[in-house]
Amino acid sequence: MKIFSKIMVLGACLLAFAACKSEYEALLSGNDVDAKYRAAFEYFNQKKYSRASQLFENLSVLTNGTERDDTVQYYWGLSNYRYKDFYTAETNFAKFLEKFPRSPFAEDARFLHLDCMYRSTYRWELDQTPTYACLQAIAEYLTAFPGDNPHTDACRKMAADLNERLDRKAFENARLYYKMEDYKASRVAFRNVLKDDSENMYREDILYYTAMSSYNYARLSVAAKQRERYLTFIDDYYNFIGELPDSKYRRELDVMYRRAQRALGRYTGTEEELDAKEKDFARERKQLEKESKKNETSGGKAK
């Protein structure tokens, strides 16, 4: 009896599902615009966004040119957005804005369009073309809707995140030369990063690697070239400490500076003193790197 009862319940559920499905399909294939319109919003309010989207898409043809046209088009995009089909929603909102620039839904549609663009951008390691397009869209939105806007804070957070990715990519691209031990190229690359964007959020690291690049380039040069190249490092060192006297890199660069002065015949201390100082900041560096990795894992600078 128990098995029979379970079969009956299952059968009833399947019949109800089939009836529901056939009712929806009949509604979708029918020509009753009012019934479709009501049902589309019912599904939307029930958070059945996939079905709502299909009905709004179907209605978009039937209501074209009517007073319901912009409402249907907007909620078609919003249904796809809520369903997390951001690629389709982006297309929906782009077409909506082109057709209804003065609609009451236009401001929200414009924000949702750029939000879809933002969600389609890539990690810093990958192509950043969509990032530039999204930043342009954000700038245009903030210009079009200035002042007390409910989406202003969200736009600024998006822009900050996207700019961080661009800063990280520029920094890491330059650091690649340093990792390859091409110190001449790395110094040029780091200087170019700040030339293109002096406000890069990795400015401290960039100035540090610029100085370290010039130091290592001098250290590995032939004797005849070392003097000139150590003097270049000393310029980079003074540039660094002048701007960042309390930097976490200061002690390490101080030792490199003394080594450069020793190579130039200007330092009277011993090699043992330099080695001892180098060991001290090496321990500090390990701790800093450990903390940096921890921050990146928990959502710090890395993106």
User: How does pLDDT run across 58-101, given as a tens digit for each residue?
Assistant: 999 999 999 999 999 999 999 999 999 999 999 999 999 999 99
**pTM score, whole prediction:** 0.77
Q: Quote the CA–CA distance of 142 and 161 in Å, as a whole number.
A: 16
Residue 279 exposed, middle or buried by CB count within 10 Å (0-12, 13-18, 19+): exposed
Block residue for tokens 């043809």: 61
Residue ranges of the alpha helices (H) in the chain?
2-29, 33-45, 49-62, 69-82, 86-99, 106-119, 129-144, 152-179, 183-196, 203-219, 223-243, 250-263, 271-297
If you write DSSP's letter for every residue of 205-263 in order, what string do you get?
HHHHHHHHHHHHHHHTS-HHHHHHHHHHHHHHHHHHHHH-TT-TTHHHHHHHHHHHHHH
- Domains present along the chain, CATH in parentheses: 174-303 (1.25.40.10)
Instruction: Give the count of beta carbons closer than 10 Å to the beta carbon of residue 239.
Output: 13
pLDDT confidence tier of residue 18, bands split at 50, 70 and 90: very low
Q: Whose CA is closest to 206, among 238, 233, 167?
A: 167
Of the candidate ranges 27-36, 172-181, 202-211, 253-262, the one whose mean pLDDT is the lowest: 27-36
